[in-house]
């Protein structure tokens, strides 16, 4: 009968490495301020087909030249986009702006 001790040792080594490696190196996100939490599990959350994206943004005027997204935690969505950036109009006869 052969006992494989390598697998338990590998598991212990991975657990020690997970504790020893800083969260940034493991891929954790560090937010720079207050966090906007968009959680698809929330009972008041509106999912697809009513809303197609958790956060949908479009420019409101021609002077809006750039956009910045900071401190959004978007998670647990089902059949829905997390972030959608659109033009200001879908009509071919109305002027539209885009970032």
pLDDT, tens digit only, all 99 positions of the chain:
455 544 454 455 454 444 444 444 456 778 888 998 888 888 877 777 778 888 888 888 888 888 888 898 888 888 888 888 888 877 778 778 887
Question: Given this model, what pLDDT does residue 11 score?
Answer: 52
The greatest distance separating any two alpha carbons of the chain, rounded to the nearest whole angstrom, comes to 79
Question: Given this model, what pLDDT does residue 64 score?
Answer: 86
Element holding 10 (H helix, E strand): helix 6-20
User: How far apart are the C-alpha atoms of 65 and 83, rounded to whole Å?
Assistant: 18
Query: Which residue in this structure is represented by tokens 């109009």?
Result: 89
Question: Given this model, what pLDDT does residue 20 score?
Answer: 47
Asked if residues 45 and 78 have their Cβ atoms less than 8 Å apart, the reply is no
Question: Given this model, what pLDDT does residue 17 score?
Answer: 46
Burial label for 45, CB within 10 Å (0-12, 13-18, 19+), is middle
Question: Given this model, what pLDDT does residue 3 score?
Answer: 53
Whose CA is closest to 81, among 45, 50, 56, 44? Answer: 56
Element holding 4 (H helix, E strand): none
Question: Given this model, what pLDDT does residue 49 score?
Answer: 74
Question: Given this model, what pLDDT does residue 84 score?
Answer: 87
Question: Given this model, what pLDDT does residue 55 score?
Answer: 87
């Amino acid at each position: 009968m052969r006992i494989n001790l390598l697998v338990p040792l590998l598991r212990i080594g991975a657990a020690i490495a997970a504790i020893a490696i800083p969260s940034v190196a493991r891929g954790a996100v560090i937010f720079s301020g207050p966090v906007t939490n968009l959680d698809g599990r929330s009972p008041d959350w509106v999912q697809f087909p009513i809303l197609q994206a958790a956060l949908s943004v479009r420019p409101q005027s021609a002077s809006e030249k750039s956009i910045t997204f900071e401190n959004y935690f978007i998670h647990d969505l089902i059949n829905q986009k997390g972030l959608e950036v659109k033009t200001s109009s879908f009509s071919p006869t109305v002027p539209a702006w885009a970032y």
